Structure 1
C-alpha cells in the first residue's frame, strides 16, 4: 500500500497572484534568496543534530493509505489521509494508536470529504468543502458542533476559539464578489457569524492557468500563495505581511511578466505546465514552515530543487540546491530522506515508507534497531523526527 503523497516533491507548477496587504515596513522580515543555478549539496549534519525514527502502529482498523498532511503537537501525531481511508488518525509520540477523529457519512457529525484539518486549543477542526461544513471535535474525539459556510475554500487556519480563516485558492466565490474582485481569504466569527474578507484578486485574472498549492497554510497561521513572494501572517484582527522573499532581478522580472500575462491573456493549464519544465524562468515557492529558531523554505524552478533555511537570531540564510535530485545528503545515517511534512518547535518531521527502511536495514542505527526490528513492508509509515541545530 502506498503511504506517502508526493505533494511536497517535484509538484506541478503552482500559479497565482494577489495584491499585498499593507503593514509597517519595520515589521517585515526581508530574506534575500540567491537561487543559484549550480548544484549546492548540503550535508545533513550541518543543519540536523539528531534523527529519531517512530514507526506508527499498524492494524486493519487504522491502516493508513496516504499521508496527505501531518500535524504534530506536544503529545501527538495526527495523520490526515484524505482520499484512500478518508480518515484522521491520532498516534502518541511513541507511535501508539490513540483514536480516529470523526467519521465519513452524511450526518451533521460526519464529513463527506476531508479538505483540510487544523488543531487549536485541544480541538480538532475538519473542513469539508464538498458539503461546505466545518466540524469541531474535542481531542478525545467527542463531537462539539458543525458550522456551515458559503465560502469555497481549500485551507483553514484557527485564529482563536471563535475565529476561523478560510483560504479560497483563486476560486470565484460569487457570493463574496466586490466590484469585480474576489477574496482569497475570508475570516468567520463562529459565535456571531461576522465575516471579513481580504487578499482580493481581479475577475480578469486568468485563473484557468492557475493550479493549486496543496497546503497553503502552515503552522496554523502563515499563508503562502503561488506567484506571490510574501508570506502572510493571519491574525484575529488583520492579515500582515510577515516575510518578503527577494529573488534576483532576472527572476523577479520574469515573474512580473507572467503575472501581467495572467491579467491580459487566457492562460491555460497546458501553458502553466510548460512553465514547469526546463525553460522555467522564475521560481515557484511551494512550502514554508516556521520552527522555534528557524524557518524552512522549499522552491522549484523547472526541475531544479531548492531547500532554504533562515535563522532569525543570526539572520543567516542557507541554501541547498540540486537539479532533479534531493539537495540534502544524509551523512548522519544514510537512511532518512530529507523531505519535511511538518515542523514543531525544534524539530522537522519527515515520513518514510517501511520498504525504504527494509531495503537498507544495514544502515539502521543501533539505537533505532529495537524500534524497527519487526517492521513489515505493508505496515504504516515511519515518522522521522530531525532535531535542528542552532546557527
Structure 2
C-alpha cells in the first residue's frame, strides 16, 4: 500500500452502544426554513451552503430548488416542470460553483442558474455511444470553470470528465479497478475548499480529484468487511430476487465522506443498520454509533444521514412534527409559529471529541 494513503480502522469494539445522542454530537444551529406558497418542501435530498445562501434540493416531492438566506428567510425557488425549453421532468443533481448553480435534469437538461436561481443559460452535453446518458439518476460536480465530473452508477465507466470548452469528454476513470463498482449520489462529496471525495458502494477506497486525475487517498479498513464473493453475489441481485436476500451483516457501503479542518466523517452499513463514524486525526479519537442511542436532543425523531456540510459542521434535517409535539422538552429556541405544516428544519451539528 502506498505510504501516501491514509488508513482509517473501523473496529466493532470502538462502537458506542450505550448513552445519549448528546454525548457524541453537539448542535451548532437550527435553521427553520420559511414556509410560503412558493417554498413548500416535501423531503430534502441535498443542501448546498454558500457565504450568504442556503440551497435546498427536493428532487422527489416538489422537484424544485429553493434558495434561502442563512437565517432561513425565503429568497426564490426554481420550478419549471414540463417538456418545453428551460423545463424538466425531474432533477438529477445540482452543483454550486462560483456563485452559479449548475443543474442536471431529465430529459437531458443541463443548465446554469445565478445565485438567486434565475435562469442564465443551457449547456449541451455531447453524450456518446461509449459514454451514454444513464437513465438511473446520474450525478455530477463542477471541478472548475472548464471541467465537470459526471458519475454514472451503471454505465461502462463510472467517472467521466467533461470539458466545457472542448464540448467533449476528455477522460474516463476507474474502469480497471474490478467489477465491484457501484455508486450513488452520496458517494460524491466536495468540501468548502473545493476538494472532491469519491467512494463506491462495495469498495472501501476513497479517491480525491486533482488536476483531472483520481487518486486513492484513504482506505477504510473494516474489521468485518464483505468478501469479494459476497459482493459479487449482491451485484447479481435485482428487483425479482433481492427479497430472498436480506441486507448483509458485514461492514460495507462507505458514503457521505466529509473532510474538514477538525475531523473526517462518513457513514456505513453494519448488521443491517446505518452507522455514523467521526474521526479526529490529530487526537486519534474515533466516534462510531447508530440510532440506538437515546435521542435526547430531538425527541420523537432520529438522526438522519448527512445531506450536506459547511465549514466544520455536518448538515442533516428533521421533520418538525417531533419539535411541535415536544416543545416543552427541547432546549433549543423554537419559532412560535412552528406547526405541523412548517418546512423541515436544517440541523448543523458536529461530533464531540472530549
Q: Same fold (TM over 0.5)?
A: yes
Alpha-carbon shift at residue 48 of structure 1 (Å): 3.1
Q: Is the 8 A contact 2:24 2:287 kept in 1?
A: no
> How has the CA–CA distance of structure 1 residues 271 and 32 changed in structure 2, closer, same or farther, with 3 Å as cutoff?
farther
1:231-270 superposed matches below 5 A: 231-248=206-223, 251-252=224-225, 254-261=226-233, 266-269=236-239
Change (3 A) 1:334 1:45: same
Q: Does 1:297 align with 2:263?
A: no
1:173-184 aligned within 5 A: 182-184=156-158
Q: How does 1:1-391 map to 2 (within 5 A)?
A: 25-36=2-13, 40-41=17-18, 43-101=20-78, 103-128=80-105, 130-149=106-125, 150=127, 151-153=132-134, 154-171=138-155, 182-195=156-169, 196-200=171-175, 213-219=184-190, 221-248=196-223, 251-252=224-225, 254-261=226-233, 266-269=236-239, 271-277=241-247, 280-321=249-290, 326-331=291-296, 337-339=302-304, 340-365=306-331, 368-369=333-334, 372-389=335-352
Mind listing any 5+ residue stretches in structure 2 that lack a counterpart?
Answer: none
- Stretches of structure 1 that go unaligned for 5 or more consecutive residues are 1-23, 172-181
* TM-score where L is the length of structure 1: 0.77
Q: Is the 8 A contact 1:276 1:302 kept in 2?
A: no
- Superposed displacement of residue 383, structure 1: 1.3
Bigger RCO of structures 1 and 2 (CA < 8 A, at least 6 apart): 1
1:271-325 residue CA offsets vs partner (Å, 9 max, x unmatched): 5555544x6344333432233311222111243332111113233322224xxxx
What RMSD over aligned residues (CA atoms) do the two structures have, in Å? 2.9
Q: Tell me the distance in 1 between the aligned counterparts of 2:258 and 2:25.
A: 16
TM-score, reference length from structure 2: 0.85
| Contact 2:93/2:104 (8 A) holds in 1 | yes
How many equivalent residue pairs?
Answer: 340
Q: CA separation of 1:95/1:206 partners in 2, compared to 1, >3 Å: closer, same or farther?
A: closer
Seen in structure 2, the aligned counterparts of structure 1 residues 333 and 140 have a Cα distance that, compared at 3 Å, is closer
Q: By percentage of residues, which structure has more helix?
A: 1
Q: Deviations over 1:322-380 (max 9, x none)?
A: xxxx0444445757743232211111222121211011111232x514xx211110111
Cα distance between partner residues in 2 of 1:363 and 1:311: 31
Q: What is the deviation of 1:165?
A: 0.3
Contact 2:198 2:206 in 1 (8 A): yes
Give the drift of 1:94.
0.8
With over 3 angstroms needed to count, the CA separation of the structure-2 counterparts of 1:236 and 1:131, relative to structure 1, is: farther
Q: Secondary structure at the match of 1:368?
A: coil
Asked if the contact 1:227/1:255 (under 8 Å) is kept, the reply is no
Instruction: State whether residues 308 and 317 of structure 1, in contact with CA within 8 Å, keep that contact through their aligned partners in structure 2.
Output: yes
Cα 1:338/1:282, change in 2 over 3 Å: closer
- 1:118-139: per-residue Cα shift (whole Å, max 9, x none)? 11111101111x3223211221
Task: Report Cα offsets for 1:253-279 as digits up to 9, x if no partner.
Answer: x4312244478xx543455555544x6
Contact 1:229 1:246 in 2 (8 A): yes
